[in-house]
């Protein structure tokens, strides 16, 4: 069972393997025809699903990305769609395939306009962005820049071919703006720029189209990461035996909360229960009993002062641990953690202030360990102000410390020793709200307690958490989402996955 889905590569690497395959006998026109057919199909499906008028406007640059647009446009014309094209460059400046398929488009009755100014572009129907593809470098200027601003302003849905024009496929850099795509129809493999920097704000939904590149070239392509293979997730759901009892279901110990921050502890404990843990015991600092008076019935509470004896006793029955949410940065919290950390025997998730107190110690932990920093916390772990090469630095950190690293954000990345990084491109902007991280920590701990290996527990936990956020935003809006909504949505996500596992 593999977690790895699509290999994610740089635009540069894509161009390299395409070129290599063509040198070894593949046909670039064959590629373009197959790509164009797949793109036309996606456009038709988009129009059908959204019940839109069968009308398409092609935005065409001078490269093969524009050629793809002409091929798709010709096929759509032949299917009865109204299609018109805006070609921003003179025909003779365009790539040979772009020129050839522009001719095929006009032969099929398509109208091509050559606007002098962006304002001349009439944005009708669905806009198909073939301005710039993997050949884009530098920054947008002149009519290209004006066109991107103009089409974004139009509020018409834009489907980007291969990559939204203006996004750098190697770095995700957007300088100064890019096409704001409702959907990016990527050819062959997703480009790493989709997931880095500003790129992720522009790609919309991702849809793959196969253009016929042989698998051996995909295998030899140098990958930066893999997208998570969501199809395999249902098989990760823990098996439920009829005769199990709550300790077998998974006993989680939590060291969480501090005076003034009981909520983080509650969110993380409830999330662990909702994600399938049979029992959770919260160890909280002595003196905050009153703050926890209204804690849910299901959460067992044990106060601690400085003696870890009670915690160590429970450890013999526990299946996983979580440390950090709402712990605070007071020195005595760190001292308490350090009093038992060497005696942990079970897989453990460390988050938030737990990361702060235990910084620099992870490499020595003998237990399987999942760290869940967001970007700022990760930089603090690395002792840096900003990343020089996020992938490289995080992968190295995971490797050297022999831990599973969940770099939370949009999207979330998972790093693990000797494994390719995973990208989980799920979730909703509404999840940028207090407490959602605490929920994730509890969920991953519960999955560890149900015997999933750390990388699997992290991947399934991140996916389900993100999917819960999507469900809440679909039902309500992204504006009103709060962390406890995720707990409410988790049953629906479990149901989705378990229904899929029966198929």
Ligand X SMILES: NC(=O)C1=CN([C@@H]2O[C@H](COP(=O)(O)OP(=O)(O)OC[C@H]3O[C@@H](n4cnc5c(N)ncnc54)[C@H](O)[C@@H]3O)[C@@H](O)[C@H]2O)[C@@H](O)CC1
Residues near ligand X (CB under 6 A) = 18, 28, 31-32, 35, 61-66, 68, 95, 132-139, 144, 161-162, 187, 211
Q: Which is nearer to ligand X, 82 or 104 (CB)?
A: 104
| Per-state percent for the chain, helix, strand, coil, to nearest 5 | 45, 20, 35
Pairing of strands 348-350, 369-371: parallel
Rounded to 5 degrees, φ, ψ at 471 are -60, -45
Nearest approach in angstroms of CB 132 to K ion is 6
- The verdict on whether residue 264 carries a ligand-binding annotation is yes
The residue among 161 and 295 lying less far from K ion, judged by its C-beta, is 161
Determine the size of the site formed for K ion (CB under 5 A). 5
Specify the residue, 147 or 165, whose C-beta has the smaller distance to K ion. Answer: 165
Q: Is 411 annotated as a binding residue?
A: yes
Tell how many helices (H) and how many strands (E) occur in the chain.
16, 18
- Where do the DSSP E strands lie in 2-68? 4-8, 55-60
* Three-class HEC string of 447-482: HHHCCCCHHHHHHHHHHHHHHHHHHHHHHCCCCCCC
Residue 161 binds to K ion (criterion: CB under 5 A):
yes
Q: Residue 31: which of ligand X, K ion, none does it interact with, CB under 5 to 8 A by kind?
A: ligand X
Which residue, 165 or 395, is less far from K ion as judged by CB?
165
The residue among 18 and 353 lying less far from ligand X, judged by its C-beta, is 18
Q: Tell whether residue 499 is among the known ligand binding residues.
A: no
Binding mask 43-82 for K ion (x = CB under 5 A): ----------------------x-----------------
Considering only residues 88 to 147 of the shown chain, the ones binding K ion according to CB under 5 A are 129
> Is residue 412 part of an annotated ligand binding site?
yes
Residue from the set 11, 160, 273, 464 that interacts with K ion by CB under 5 A: 160
- How far is it, in rounded angstroms, from Cα 370 to Cα 350? 6
165 interacts with, out of ligand X, K ion, none, CB within 5 to 8 A per kind: K ion
SS3 sequence of 365-413: CCCCEEECCEHHHHHHHHCCCCCCCHHHHHHHHHHHHCCEEEEECCCEE
Does the annotation place 259 within a ligand binding site? no
Write out the DSSP string of 72-122: HHHHHHHTT-EEEEEE-S-GGGS-HHHHHHHHHHHHTT-EEE--SSGGG--
Largest CA distance in the chain: 83
CB of 67 to ligand X, least distance (A): 6
In the complex, least distance from residue 225 CB atom to ligand X, rounded to whole angstroms: 20
The CB-of-410 to ligand X minimum distance in angstroms stands at: 24
Say if residue 437 carries a ligand binding annotation.
yes
Our CB check for ligand X shows the closer of 15 and 432 to be 15
Nearer to ligand X among residue 152 and residue 184 (C-beta):
184
- Cross-sheet strand order for the sheet of 158-161: 111-113, 82-87, 55-60, 126-130, 158-161, 183-187, 205-209
Pseudo-torsion of CA 42, 48, 51, 54, nearest 10°?
A: 80
Crossing angle of the two packed helices 28-49 and 64-78, in degrees rounded to 10: 60
Q: What angle do CA 145, 146, 151 make, to 5 degrees?
A: 100
Name the residues that contact K ion, by CB under 5 A: 65, 129, 160-161, 165
Summarize the annotated binding site for K(+) as residue ranges: 65, 129, 165
Summarize the annotated binding site for (6S)-NADPHX as residue ranges: 64-68, 133-139, 162, 264, 326, 374, 438
Summarize the annotated binding site as residue ranges: 64-68, 129, 133-139, 162, 165, 264, 326, 374, 408-412, 437-438
């Amino acid at each position: 069972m593999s977690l790895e889905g699509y290999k994610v590569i740089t635009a540069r690497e894509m161009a390299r393997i395409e070129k290599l395959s063509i040198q070894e006998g593949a046909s670039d026109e064959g590629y373009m025809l197959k790509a164009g057919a797949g793109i036309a199909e996606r456009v038709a499906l988009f129009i059908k699903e959204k019940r839109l008028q069968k009308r398409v406007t092609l935005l065409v640059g001078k490269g093969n990305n524009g050629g793809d647009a002409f091929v798709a446009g010709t096929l759509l014309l032949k299917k009865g769609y109204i299609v018109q094209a805006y070609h921003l460059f003179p025909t003779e400046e365009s790539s040979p395939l772009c020129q050839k398929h522009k001719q095929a488009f006009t032969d099929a009755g398509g109208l091509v306009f050559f606007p002098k100014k962006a304002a001349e572009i009439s944005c009708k129907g669905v806009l198909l962005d073939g301005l710039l593809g993997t050949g884009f470098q530098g920054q947008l200027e002149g009519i290209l820049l004006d066109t991107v601003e103009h089409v974004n302003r139009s509020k018409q849905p834009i489907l980007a071919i291969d990559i939204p024009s203006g996004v750098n496929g190697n770095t995700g850099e957007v300088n100064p703006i890019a096409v704001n795509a409702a959907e990016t129809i990527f050819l062959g493999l997703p480009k790493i720029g989709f997931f880095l920097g500003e790129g992720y704000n522009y790609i919309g939904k991702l849809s793959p189209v196969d253009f016929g590149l042989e698998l051996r070239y995909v295998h030899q392509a140098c990958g930066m990461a893999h997208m998570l293979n969501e199809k395999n997730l249902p098989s990760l759901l823990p098996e439920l035996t009829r005769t199990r009892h709550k300790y077998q279901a998974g006993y989680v110990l939590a060291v969480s909360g501090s005076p003034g921050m009981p909520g983080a502890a509650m969110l993380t404990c409830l999330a662990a229960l909702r994600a399938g843990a049979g029992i959770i015991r919260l160890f909280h600092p002595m003196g905050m009993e009153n703050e926890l008076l209204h804690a849910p019935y299901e959460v067992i509470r044990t106060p601690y002062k400085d003696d870890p004896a009670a915690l160590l006793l429970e450890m013999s029955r526990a299946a996983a641990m979580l440390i950090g949410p709402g712990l605070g940065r007071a020195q005595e919290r760190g001292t308490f953690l350090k009093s038992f950390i060497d005696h942990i025997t079970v897989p453990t998730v460390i988050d938030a202030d737990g990361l702060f107190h235990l910084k620099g110690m992870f490499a020595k932990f003998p237990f399987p360990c999942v760290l869940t920093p967001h970007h700022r916390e990760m930089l603090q772990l690395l002792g840096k102000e900003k990343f020089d090469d996020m992938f490289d630095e995080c992968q190295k950190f995971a490797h050297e410390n022999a831990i599973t690293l969940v770099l939370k954000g949009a999207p979330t990345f998972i790093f693990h020793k000797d494994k390719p990084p995973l990208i989980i491109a799920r979730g909703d902007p509404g999840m940028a709200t207090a407490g959602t991280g605490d929920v994730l920590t509890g969920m991953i701990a519960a999955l560890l307690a149900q015997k999933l290996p750390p990388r699997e527990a992290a991947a399934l936990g991140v996916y389900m958490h993100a999917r819960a956020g999507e469900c809440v935003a679909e039902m309500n809006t992204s504006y009103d989402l709060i962390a406890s909504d995720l707990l409410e949505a988790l049953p629906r996500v479990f149901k989705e996955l378990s229904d899929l596992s029966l198929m």
